[in-house]
Structures are given as structure tokens and as C-alpha cells.
Structure 1
């Protein structure tokens, strides 16, 4: 059975798309830890990130780097943090979380409220700055 992320990639489930290439997809997390919280995933459905072939893992990280740079330019955080936990969805993924102040606390269990209008605005702002 396809993961929710595979359904997002195929367009069966809507998402706030940030960037896409032939092997990767980036979109806003619908349960964000901060405004602009983005997920980067391989289009290849594989549960555990470290089961990716070395070249695939490297490519995913390079894709995430490009997305993070776009986030940095669009959102102007102090920096963008990264979490690779991988327990909530059985599809390899990287969380990119903007850090807006030094005292900001974040974890995957901490969520902020972001309206649908703001999510749409954030996706547009970030996607315009991502250079693949």
C-alpha cells in the first residue's frame, strides 16, 4: 500500500509544493513545528532513510540543501534546522525547520498553528527562491 507521501507525489493527496525534480519532492509539513517547516522526500518509496543507496542518500541531502537555501532567502530565519527521525510516515524524509530566534524550541511533537492562506503564501515565497 502506498504511503501518504507517495500519494502526495502522485497528486492523489494535495500538498503545498515547494520544489520537485525527477527524483525528489519538497512540500510544507501540514503539522509544522515552525512557519515554513518543509519535508524533502525521495520519490522512490523506501521506509528507512539509511536503506537508500549511498548515491540516493547523497542526492536527497543535496536536494534538501537547495530547498533550505531557498527557505533561508525567502523566510530570513537565523538558520534552518534539520531533523531526520522517520517514525511518523514509512517513507524516507528530511524535516527542514526554520529557526527564527535563538530561544526557539522545536521538535516534531511541537506544533504551531498556520492558516491555510499562510501555508499557500509560504509555499509560494519559498518555491520562488529554490534553485534546483
Structure 2
């Protein structure tokens, strides 16, 4: 059965897409730690990040770096943090989280955004890509 992220990539479930290329897809987390919290995923459905081929892993990191640089330009923050946990969805993914302090990485702190606010964040980040 396809993961929720595969369904997003396939357009079966809507997302706040930031960008994509042939192999990777970036979209806003709908339950974000902070405004601009973005997920980067390979389009290939692989459960664990270290089960990706070396080429796919390096490609995901390269893609995530490009997105993180755009986030840092678009969203006021001290820096963009990156984490890979992978327990929530069985599809490898990288969290890019704009940080104000160490608590910004705490997955218990959540930002509340309206659909309009999500769209504004997408536009800001896309403008920096």
C-alpha cells in the first residue's frame, strides 16, 4: 500500500508544494513545528533513509540543502535545522525547520496556520528558489 507521501507525490492527496524535480519533492508540513517547516522526500518509496541507494541519499541531501537555503532567505530565523526521524510515516523524509532556539526542534511545539498562511509561506520560499 502506498504511503501518504507517495499519495501526495501522485496528487491523490493535496499538499503545499514548495518544489519538486524528477526524483524529489518538498512540501510544507501540515503540523509544523514552526512557520516554514518543510519535508523533503524521495519520490521513490523507501521506508528508512539509510535504505536509499547512495546516489538517492546524496541526491536527497543536495535537494534538501537547496530548499533549506531558500527557507532561510524567506523565513526570519536563526538558522534552518534538519532532522531525520522517520517513525511517523514509512517513507524516508527530511524535516527542515526554521529555528529561533533549541525548542524549535521540539516536536511538541506546533505552529497553527490557516490555509492562506500556508500559501503565503509557499510563495515566499518559492520566490527564493
What TM-score results when the alignment is normalised by the length of structure 2?
Answer: 0.95
Once the two structures are TM-superposed, the CA of residue 124 in structure 1 deviates from its matched residue by: 1.1
Runs of at least 4 residues off by over 2 Å: 101-110
Unaligned runs of 5+ in 1: none
Secondary structure at 2:117's aligned position in 1? helix
Residues 1:83 and 2:83 are matched in the alignment: yes
Partner in structure 1 of residue 68 of structure 2: 68
SS at match of 1:71: helix
The change in CA–CA distance for 1:22 and 1:102 in structure 2 (over 3 A counts) is same
Q: Over residues 66-118 of structure 1, what are the superposed CA-to-partner deviations in whole Å (9 max), with x where a residue is unaligned?
A: 0000001111311000110000000000000001x336433233312111110
Matched residue SS, 2:104: coil
Alignment partners' CA distance in 1, 2:74 and 2:104: 21
Distance 1:5 1:102 in 2: 28
Distance 1:50 1:76, change over 3 A: same
TM (norm. structure 1) is 0.93
Instruction: Give matches, 1:50-61, under 5 Å.
Output: 50-61=50-61
1:38 paired with 2:55, answer no
| Unmatched 5+ stretches in structure 2 | none
Task: Tell whether the 8 Å contact from 2:41 to 2:94 is kept in structure 1 after alignment.
Answer: yes
**Comparing 102-111 and 25-34, the one that deviates more:** 102-111
CA RMSD of aligned residues (A): 1.1
Figure out how many residues of one structure are paired with residues of the other and give that number: 129
1:13-28 → structure 2 map (5 Å cutoff): 13-28=13-28
Q: Which residue of 2 aligns with 1:121?
A: 120
CA spacing shift, 1:41–1:80, aligned 2, 3 Å:
same
Q: How does 1:4-15 map to 2 (within 5 A)?
A: 4-15=4-15
